[in-house]
Every structure is written in structure tokens, then in C-alpha cells.
Amino acid sequence: MSDYTPPKVWEPKESGGKFASINRPVAGPTHEKALPVGKHPFQLYSLATPNGVKAGVMFEELLALGKDAEYDAWLINIGEGDQFGSGFVEVNPNSKIPALMDYSGDKPLRVFESGSILLHLAEKFGAFLPQDTATRVETLNWLFWQMGSAPYLGGGFGHFYAYAPEKLEYPIDRFTMETKRQLDVLDRRLAESRYLAGDEYTIADIANWSWYGQLALGRLYDAAEFLQVESYTHVQRWAKEIDARPAVQRGRMVNRTFGEPSSQLHERHDASDFDTRTQDKLGG
């Protein structure tokens, strides 16, 4: 039991943990650094965290449909503070990945927040967002559910279970309970529906799979046994079906810097890069 008493006025201090060196209580850039710009209309700046995976999967799914959605994907290494460079902060003042510059229209558009990127691209290309009102609303219900729920999974459960400098029973129990409740929400929905919005694969599935699907497949926090993810049978069925999609398999490789070298594509500038520029091919 901790005997910590909060002070009257909080002051920042070194807290330890995996991300302590990049955490700070203020926004804005820490250094000058322009962002690279490639040849394609869309410039993605990201890392293959669950939020970053959403954008990579979305682009690859659009390309698989034959849409004119060619993109350059540039690596933003959040462990080294790339997200605090002046160029990145201009695109996303919140200094979080993914961030997108869209040069395809009359004037450049910055798009930040992963849900906003999914919605922007879905509307621009008329894909993965149903047009009938009822299914569109259901898609947006589950998209925004994910945006509001995932911080409890990532910043809550993931932080205290995997990244905090010490294991504390109360926050681990608190966020484990919420994570399992969220998995149950999804499991109940997927018991009655193939995908989250119905029979059609949408941006709601892309957003939720990137977090909860990968969690169910044992890819997040080494917590599959702890959370008993196999018991959520409908989530398992859904997660495995989406995981088998070739565009999803490509998308989760984009800006990936961990795992098997053959699964890492640090930068993506052409469809052929998946065959020629993964880290095993580059000697990484």
C-alpha cells in the first residue's frame, strides 16, 4: 500500500518507465527538423503502434481496391523524440502518430488523429464507410467507441502492466477489469454480427482490429494469457478473419521497427518495397 500524498501543487519529476525520457507536461517542438516529402499525393508520418497500423492498413486496403491512394510512409521514431520535431508538430500539434499530409487537392491538408485519418480517407475515396444512414451511423459508433476506449487499454492497462517502472496492484487490477469489459463489449457485438457495423468490413473494423484484434492475437503487451483472450471466441473469429486479409498483412508492416526483420518495412514508397526493402532484404 502506497503512502503517497499528492502535493498541493504538482511539479514534474523523473518517474522512470519505458517512456519517461519523452514525457513532458508541455506541448510544442523541442528541436527544428523538417519532414521529408516524397513523390506521392499522401505523406504518412508514423510508427507501427496500434494507432499507426490503422493508417497503414487503410492505405493498403484502398490500393487493393484499385483506388488512387499511393502514399509515402516515413518513420517517426517516438522513442527518439521525432514527434517533437518542428515539422511534425506543424502537422500534429499534439505530437502523436500517425499524422498525414494530403497534397491531392487544391491546397495541402494536415490530418491528425488516427480516427480522423480513417474518416478522411474513407470519405475521399468512397470506401469502407457505408452510404446508407443506418450502417454509416453504426460504423461511426464503433469508430468513436474505439477512440474513446483504447486509452484505457494502451495508456492504462498497457502502461501499468508492461511499461511502468514497478508493478502496482491497484492500477493493474483497475485497467485489467476495464480492458476485459471492453473485450466483452466487442465479443457480444460480434456474436450477432460478422463485422462491427454489420456484414460489411469498414473503418470501424480497421480501427478496432489494430488494438483489440492484435490484443486477441497475442501481439500486445505479452498479456494474452493474463487476459484470457482465447475466451472471447467471437473476437477471436473476427480478429483472425481480418488478420488474413493481404492488405492488413502489408499495412501492419509499414513503419514497423520491431519483430522479425522480414516483417519490418521502415519506410514505404512503392508497392514493390514489401518485396525488396524489408529489413531482412536490407541486412537489418
What does the pLDDT look like over 113-126, one tens digit per residue?
999 999 999 999 99
Instruction: Considering only residues 18 and 62, tell me which one the structure prediction assigns the higher pLDDT.
Output: 62
Residue where one domain finishes, among candidates 125, 157, 179: 125
| β pairing state of 99-102 and 109-112 | antiparallel
User: What is the model's pLDDT at position 1?
Assistant: 58
Q: Which three cell numbers stand for residue 130?
A: 457505408
Looking at the structure, tell me whether residues 48 and 73 fall in a common domain. yes
Q: Answer yes or no: is pLDDT of 13 > 90.
A: no
The answer to whether residues 148 and 211 belong to one domain is: yes
Range of the domain at 189: 133-251
Cis before 261 (ω within 30): no
Write the CATH number for 143. Answer: 1.20.1050.10
| Predicted local distance difference test score (pLDDT) of residue 23 | 84
pLDDT band at 4 (very low <50, low <70, confident <90, very high): confident
Indicate if 154 and 119 belong to the same structural domain: no
Q: What is the pLDDT of residues 129-145, one digit of tens each?
A: 999 999 999 999 999 99
Residues 68 and 112 in one domain: yes
Q: Are 142 and 245 found together in one domain?
A: yes
Instruction: Please say whether the beta carbons of 86 and 34 come within 8 A.
Output: yes
**In this predicted structure, what is the pLDDT of residue 15?**
74
Lowest pLDDT segment from 14-18, 21-25, 34-38: 14-18
**Is the domain of 152 the same as that of 247?**
yes
Q: How many domains does the chain have?
A: 2
Of the chain, the percentage scoring pLDDT greater than 70 comes to: 99
Work out the number of other CB atoms within 10 angstroms of the CB of residue 21. Answer: 12
- Residue 105 falls within a domain, yes or no? yes
pLDDT at 235: 98
Q: Does 9 fall in a domain?
A: no
pLDDT of residue 103: 98
- 54 with 157, same domain: the answer is no
| 32 inside domain | no
Indicate if 159 and 235 belong to the same structural domain: yes
Residues 119 and 144 in one domain: no
pLDDT in tens, 255-276: 999 999 999 999 999 999 999 9
State the pLDDT at residue 21: 72
Domain boundary among 77, 101, 125: 125
Residues 155 and 193 grouped into a single domain: yes
Region 15-37: mean pLDDT is: 87
In a domain? residue 261: no
CATH number at residue 88: 3.40.30.10
Within the chain, residue ranges assigned H as helices are: 50-64, 86-91, 114-125, 133-151, 169-190, 203-208, 214-216, 224-227, 233-243, 246-251, 273-276, 279-282
Give the percent of the chain with pLDDT over 90: 93
**Mean per-residue pLDDT for 221-232?**
98
Judge if pTM exceeds 0.75. yes
pLDDT at 250 exceeding the cut of 90:
yes
Residue 267 belongs to a domain? no
User: Could you tell me the pLDDT band of residue 284, with boundaries at 50, 70 and 90?
Assistant: low
